[in-house]
Amino acid sequence: MSPTDSPLHSGGCLCGAVRFCVSGEPTGGNHCHCGMCRKDSGSGVSTFVTFPANAVTWDRNPTDYESSPGKYRGFCPKCGSSLTWRSVEDANTIDLRLGSFDDPTPFKAQKHLWISTALSGFSKIDPDIDHFDQGS
């Protein structure tokens, strides 16, 4: 498949000041239940789609916040929409928030992260998705 045949996925923030385009298919996806993702999203769980970092092009880069050493969350500097999560340990990938895509329907999460910190309302987690606890 040539680069021009690669699927293109677009998205951006709530106000439209930050837009992105992604070529190709995701390499993963997850539902994260950690407290930092809950705070960052204002939601009970955060869903991300993982792509190679070099597959993403931005019309304006999001602003980064180092939420813990070597871990960065990107957001729109105008409206504050949370858009990304990335780690310096794996600089070759970037996680984009599912809700930031113009059409999120092609994507499916393949795992749950930080199940031990999941809110009680998420106790019946989809058994068809892998569960990983990255800490206790």
Reported as a single tens digit per residue, the pLDDT across 71-106 is 999 999 999 999 999 999 999 999 999 999 999 999
Alpha-carbon gap, residue 20 to 9, rounded angstroms: 8
Which two three-digit tokens encode residue 73?
């969350």
Q: Taking 70 as the threshold, does the pLDDT of residue 58 lie above it?
A: yes
What CATH number matches the domain at 3-119, 3.40.50.720, 2.40.160.40, 2.170.150.70, 3.10.20.440? 2.170.150.70
Q: Are strands 82-87 and 93-97 parallel, antiparallel or unpaired?
A: antiparallel
Alpha-carbon gap, residue 131 to 118, rounded angstroms: 11
What are the beta bridge partners of residue 64?
Answer: 74
Considering the entire predicted model, what is its pTM?
0.82
Indicate the DSSP class of residue 44.
Answer: S
